Amino acid sequence: MAAQSSQSLFLAALAGAAAALAARALVRRLRVALRLHGLDKAQLLAERRRHFCAAQSISYANTDPLLIVSGHGATLVDEAGRRFLDTRNNVAHVGHAHPAVAAAVAEQVATLNTNTRYLHPNVCALAKKLLATMPAPLSDGVVFFVNSGSEANDLAVRLARAFNPRSELTLVVDHAYHGHTITALGLSPYKFEHRSFKGKGKPSWVTKCPAPDTYRGPHRGADAGARYAEPVVAACEAACAGGGGGVCAFFIESGMSVAGVIMPPDGYLAACYHAVRAAGGVCIADEVQTGMGRFGTSWWGFEQQRVVPDIVTMGKCCGNGMPLAAVVCTRAVSDAFATGPEYFNTFGGNPVCAAAGLAVFETIANENLRARATATGTFLREALAALAGEPAGVLLGDVRGCGLFMGIEFVRDRESRQPATAETSFICSRLKDVHRILTSIDGPHDNVLVVKPPLCFGEPEARRLVGALRCELIALASVDLTKVSHTPT
Ligand code: PMP
């Protein structure tokens, strides 16, 4: 009896504490909202334009840029209280402002935040968690924590050069993006081929190979993997001919995002990896956009190709918005680097960001988000395939991707595959303005809607997206596209 009453007292106290916490969270949100109340979006836009370089673009700049003040799950809320369904922010991996991440960060930042020259349990626990997701021999490898995907790729180049000091030759694929530092830019045809570089953007140590695009490229059949690997194999052989130093590294995104969701065909990576390793180089998987369960039940995109890289880089989603990125490499690669100068990174893997990373792992497990990404991705793909079969869906040329990493390519004609660029722009704008759905456009022809939402995005959200798409595909029939301007995203 006594035990029962003390148990109910305890439960009542617990309920009271939970109510107090919820009330405090509500007050905090209200305070933030009040602080923003009355802010004039036009003034903010003018200030932004005054104080920032025009190269720092804003989404929907040509129509109505967004002032987002809060978020939760796959929803973003603007200053007027309008709620938008977010299909594009892959940084908020487990959902915007996730309470578990917020609590972990708040607790750690109120306790200690300093660099990794001191021992700290967070960074070690996070390294262990990360390595446990990797196949052998990476699972017995080494982790470097950094602050961004660009830094991760920059460091990957250094690791590769330490591993094969005889060559700096780095193979990348067309339309790839690996980051914004000068080194990462040099790995990114998406950037270095910009007209402003007048054809001189590619560094001498980089060789560009064709993107393994099975929809638009020359090889579309069952042998596409082998055929796209041929130029990589040839570059490796040429690098070794006549006593050359071979290859330093081969970089590729496990699913090419800004290229318009190009998925390497079966056998492609295995053939490339074989040639690169035979030429003394290392194979680097850029998982900045594709890792941590975005592809669904597999943790990493490269697993789909049944290969194991020597170096894996990741960023974006690792800290759910906190600056946390990482490089994982084999012990052999790490050993070659260990003889060089000290590696110190002031902020990389600090206790606060590591706390965020641990909370991300916990939330993925607690909310079963990898299985959810698989289930929602399958549902969405099937719903889009059905839409493509409807009269309104003739513009849908291709739907591709894995889990919650999906590209919807719009074409004017399925035979010629002429890109439906203006139509894609129209759809993207209308999804935002009419349906309050945020999407992004990518691909060299700006005709691919890329869907990469927080992993809590579920079936109801997928249904809403497909319904809105159907509605706008029907609306397109009566639109004068010459009056539609391109939507920068
Ligand atoms: N690699 C890929 C595949 C990316 O998409 C990005 C960013 N979009 C980066 C690297 C660079 O990451 P960050 O912006 O964090 O430097």
- Ligand 1, atom 2, lies closest to the CA of 178
Are 316 and 289 a contacting pair, CB within 8 Å?
A: yes
Q: Which of 228-237, 383-392, 480-489 has the lowest mean pLDDT?
A: 480-489
- Ligand 1, atom 12, lies closest to the CA of 149
- Beta-carbon count within 10 A of 431 CB: 22
Closest CA to 443 of 472, 420, 414: 420
How far is Cα 320 from Cα 356, in angstroms, rounded to an integer? 7
Determine the atom of ligand 1 nearest the C-alpha atom of 148. 15
Q: For the chain, what are the domain ranges?
A: 100-366, 368-483
Q: Ligand 1 centroid to 402 CA: how many Å?
A: 19
**pLDDT grade for 487, boundaries at 50, 70 and 90:** low
Q: Ligand 1 centroid to 86 CA: how many Å?
A: 19
Determine the atom of ligand 1 nearest the C-alpha atom of 325. 15
**pLDDT grade for 469, boundaries at 50, 70 and 90:** very high
180 in contact with ligand 1, CB cutoff 6 A:
yes
Q: Ligand 1 centroid to 326 CA: how many Å?
A: 12
Q: Ligand 1 centroid to 483 CA: how many Å?
A: 33
Q: How many helices (H) and strands (E) does the chain have?
A: 14, 15
Residue of 93, 316, 327, 353 best suited for mutating to test ligand 1, as the one with most atoms within 8 Å of CB: 316
How far is Cα 116 from Cα 96, in angstroms, rounded to an integer? 27
pLDDT attached to residue 27: 56
188 in contact with ligand 1, CB cutoff 6 A:
no
- Can you name the residues that pair with 252 across neighbouring β-strands? 285
Residue of 289, 290, 312, 320 best suited for mutating to test ligand 1, as the one with most atoms within 8 Å of CB: 289
**pLDDT grade for 62, boundaries at 50, 70 and 90:** confident
pLDDT attached to residue 488: 47
In the chain, the amino acid numbered 133 is: T
Determine the atom of ligand 1 nearest the C-alpha atom of 176. 3
Are 70 and 97 a contacting pair, CB within 8 Å?
A: yes
Determine the atom of ligand 1 nearest the C-alpha atom of 316. 15
- The pLDDT tens digits for 11-49 are 666 666 666 666 666 556 655 554 555 657 888 899 999
pLDDT attached to residue 211: 98
Q: Ligand 1 centroid to 14 CA: how many Å?
A: 43
- The pLDDT tens digits for 85-140 are 999 999 999 999 999 999 999 999 999 999 999 999 999 999 999 999 999 999 99
315 in contact with ligand 1, CB cutoff 6 A:
yes
In the chain, the amino acid numbered 226 is: A
pLDDT attached to residue 252: 98
317 in contact with ligand 1, CB cutoff 6 A:
no
* 465 contacts: CB under 8 Å, gap ≥ 6: 85, 87, 380, 431, 437, 451
Give mean pLDDT, residues 251-258: 98
152 in contact with ligand 1, CB cutoff 6 A:
no
pLDDT attached to residue 414: 97
| CATH topology for the 368-483 domain | Aspartate Aminotransferase, domain 1 (3.90.1150)
Are 384 and 467 a contacting pair, CB within 8 Å?
A: no
Query: In terms of CATH architecture, what is 100-366?
Result: 3-Layer(aba) Sandwich (3.40)
- The pLDDT tens digits for 144-166 are 999 999 999 999 999 999 999 99
Q: Ligand 1 centroid to 411 CA: how many Å?
A: 27
pLDDT attached to residue 85: 98
Q: Ligand 1 centroid to 349 CA: how many Å?
A: 17
- The pLDDT tens digits for 418-451 are 999 999 999 999 999 999 999 999 999 999 999 9
Q: Is the pLDDT of residue 484 over 90?
A: no
- The pLDDT tens digits for 309-353 are 999 999 999 999 999 999 999 999 999 999 999 999 999 999 999
pLDDT attached to residue 63: 80
pLDDT attached to residue 468: 98
What is the value of pTM for the model shown?
0.93
Residue of 150, 188, 313 best suited for mutating to test ligand 1, as the one with most atoms within 8 Å of CB: 150
pLDDT attached to residue 479: 86
Are 327 and 157 a contacting pair, CB within 8 Å?
A: no
148 in contact with ligand 1, CB cutoff 6 A:
yes
- Can you name the residues that pair with 284 across neighbouring β-strands? 251, 311
- The pLDDT tens digits for 156-199 are 999 999 999 999 999 999 999 999 999 999 999 999 999 899 98
